[in-house]
Amino acid sequence: DTLKSLGPGPVHTVKPEITHWGGNIHHPFQSGVCSTTVLTPQGYTSQLSGTSFSAPIASALCAHTWQALSGHREFNPSPAMVKAAMIHAAQLENREYSPLERRYYGVGLPQDVMSTLYDRSDSFTLLFEADLIPGKMRWRKTPYPIPASLRSNGKLRGEVIITAAYQPVLDANWGAEYVRTNLELSFGVLNTAKNTIQGKVPLEMEPGQHSFEKQLIENGGKWSTVKLHRKTFPDGVAGDVWALQAKLQVRAAQDKPDFPVKAYIFVTLRSVDGDTSVHADGLNALRATQWVQQSLPVRVPVQAS
């Protein structure tokens, strides 16, 4: 895309969140043969570049995702759900970018949002809809279904990719602190004796360690309306009972909302060596939990030629 999309957004939020083709720029900041060919209002073609050309493509992907999710008896698609699906698709298609690269690319280009809704054989994806109220018990799903093919000698060996989006409480009167609620996520090992989670994605700090608020905002995504976490464990990480946990935090001097805030959390477990039994093993592990569940997409896009 063009340099106009350079981030970050307010209080170091990831902007752009995703990218798409908007045309290349020639030196010095001129359009040319590598830019996007467009039809002008005068009826002739021209080479231009800009976010105005990438936005319609991303909007079309959103519309297709919304349609694929429509028709469920248990839930209806929402902007936050579709947003999470779009961003998660980009996470699945691209490597993890550095903080500097994210200012230009976000999490990358979502080649096909259907990759989020239809797993590959080497990955296992679940979407959770969580109702969160500050001050109430933390939302938790455990024991988390881990595919048998990703377990080795008591360890989880694979890649964990998490994307979450939610509709926070907003108040423009607070300026840059207009986001008044924060979603905290943790995917890790459950200590059944203490009923606590040792976070692995994101990695929980050791006792005695501290992070300043500035670091949490700039590098940890605190107060961001989209949460992005991923970690690869090529040598495995020990853990018997795994869990996914979420809670809602409010800023100081902010009244706690008396209504639940919905969060949509995508979690993908993926093989690091292309093991094609991961998806089937994940479904078997999911059935063993006896959780209430349903397949995500209702409509399957079919192309006729």
CA distances from 56 to 2, 20, 21, 53, 66 (A): 15, 10, 10, 6, 15
Residues 100 and 132 in one domain: no
Phi first, then psi: give them for residue 124, nearest 5 degrees.
-140, 115
Residues 109, 142 within the same domain: no
Residues 153 and 284 in one domain: yes
Nearest to 221 by CA among 261, 171, 168, 259: 168
| Model confidence at 7: pLDDT above 80 | no
Full residue range of the structural domain in which residue 171 is found: 119-289
For the chain, the domain total comes to: 2
pLDDT, residue 239, reads 95
The answer to whether residues 177 and 146 belong to one domain is yes
The yes-or-no verdict on residue 126 having pLDDT over 90 is yes
The residue among 76, 98, 118 that closes a domain is 118
pTM for this predicted structure? 0.86
Same domain, yes or no: 139 and 246:
yes
Say yes or no: 129 and 83 in one domain: no
Residue 300 binned pLDDT confidence (cut-offs 50, 70, 90)? low
For residue 12, what pLDDT band results from cuts at 50, 70 and 90? Answer: low
Is residue 67 domain-shared with residue 193, that is, in the same domain?
Answer: no
